[in-house]
Amino acid sequence: MQKILSLSAAAFAAVMLTTAAEAASPRAAAPIDSAPTSIRTADVTMVVSHGYAHVRKDPNTKSQILATLKKGAKVDVIEKVPGGKWAHVKTGKFDGYIALSLLKAA
């Protein structure tokens, strides 16, 4: 009977050690299904359709203004930001973001 208890205790200890080792071992992270940060487009030329438009460092109105463009200024659209409200643009020496509502087709 004592042998059976010893074997049972050994088996229990082996299961506990294996479980602890599996919990501590690093595992590959499961892939996260996330939306792309941008949508690539062919380079498209657009023009500023309002009195002016700010070229910003990031696609939000609180971001640093890199340049201010006058109505009719041409920009090359590199990509659209998901959500369709901002365009990543390049104009002259500036590379930044402009609200799409301020642009129209050239």
Phi-psi region of 73 (alpha: psi -120 to 50; beta: other; left: phi over 0): beta
Domain borders along the chain are: 39-105
What is the tens place of the pLDDT at every residue in 21-78? 454 555 555 455 444 455 555 578 999 999 999 999 999 999 999 999 999 999 999 9
User: Does 96 have pLDDT greater than 90?
Assistant: yes
* pLDDT score for 43: 73
39-105: what CATH class? Answer: mainly beta
Higher pLDDT, 32 or 106: 106
Longest pairwise C-alpha distance within the chain? 94
Instruction: Check if the beta carbon of residue 99 is closer than 8 Å to that of residue 62.
Output: no
Closest residue by Cα to residue 101 from 83, 86, 91 = 86
Closest residue by Cα to residue 102 from 41, 39, 40, 59 = 59
How far is Cα of residue 14 from the mean position of the Cα atoms in its chain?
44
